[in-house]
């Protein structure tokens, strides 16, 4: 089973390979990162690590047995007990429940390690797979939005059930 890991400097080559290999696949349902992302990847990776160190964001990679990145699950714009959730799974790993399990794990980390109380997310209406992951992991629809010119939905996930579980765990 793949392991969820907090982003580190040594993940850079595998993350870049993951993004390159899946660029067209991702662009079908979320905005493309653009050529500049790839041209300036090392600089961008360092900037993400600095944001993570500052507690502004938490970036996670889903790492397979051979060290390859199979997915990313990120918490961005951490403030006032909340954050925005974003995730992407490699095309070759899609449909195996990896996104659902990784999002569940990040929800638990958000509550028990990062001290968050609420997560927000958004998905295009035509992205049934992403909407299913959000529903399976306890997110509820809160409204409508536009994502890169496409109709989308906004979601919210209170995290108090993880906080209750943490208080009940003998320690």
Instruction: Break the chain into its structural domains and give their ranges.
Output: 3-168
Q: Tell me the C-alpha distance between 137 and 141, whole Å.
A: 12
Cut 0.85: pTM above it: yes
pLDDT at position 168, please? 54
pLDDT at position 3, please? 97
pLDDT at position 163, please? 63
**CA-to-CA dists, residue 18 to 33, 90, 91, 92, angstroms:** 13, 7, 10, 11
For the stretch 124-132, contacts whose Cβ atoms lie closer than 8 Å and that sit 24 or more positions apart, written own/partner, are 124/29, 124/30, 124/150, 124/151, 124/152, 125/150, 125/151, 125/152, 125/153, 126/29, 126/150, 126/151, 127/29, 127/30, 129/29, 129/94, 129/95, 129/99, 130/29, 130/87, 130/99
Distance of CA 20 to the CA centre of its chain: 18
Q: Which CATH superfamily is domain 3-168 in?
A: Gcn5-related N-acetyltransferase (GNAT) (3.40.630.30)
Is residue 81 within 8 A of residue 88, CB to CB? The reply is no
* pLDDT tens-place values along the chain, 171 residues long: 899 999 999 999 999 999 999 999 998 888 788 899 999 999 999 999 999 999 999 999 999 999 999 999 999 999 999 999 999 999 999 999 999 999 999 999 999 999 999 999 999 999 999 999 999 999 999 999 999 889 999 999 999 988 655 555 554
Indicate if the alpha-carbon torsion angle 8, 154, 132, 128 is positive or negative. Answer: negative
């Amino acid at each position: 089973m793949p392991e969820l890991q907090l982003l580190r400097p040594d993940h850079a080559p595998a993350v870049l390979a993951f993004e390159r290999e899946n660029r067209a696949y991702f662009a079908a349902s979320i905005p493309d990162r653009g050529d500049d992302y790839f041209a300036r990847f090392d600089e961008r990776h360092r900037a993400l690590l600095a944001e993570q160190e500052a507690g502004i964001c938490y970036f996670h990679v889903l790492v397979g047995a051979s060290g390859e990145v199979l997915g990313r699950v990120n918490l961005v714009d951490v403030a006032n007990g909340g954050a925005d959730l974003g995730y992407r799974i490699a095309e070759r790993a899609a449909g195996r429940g990896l996104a659902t399990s990784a999002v569940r794990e990040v929800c638990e980390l958000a509550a028990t390690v990062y001290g968050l109380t609420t997560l927000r997310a958004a998905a295009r209406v035509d992205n049934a797979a992403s909407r299913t992951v959000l529903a399976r992991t306890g997110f509820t629809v809160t409204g409508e939005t536009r994502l890169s010119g496409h109709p989308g939905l906004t979601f919210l996930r209170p995290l108090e059930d993880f906080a209750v579980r943490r208080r009940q765990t003998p320690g």
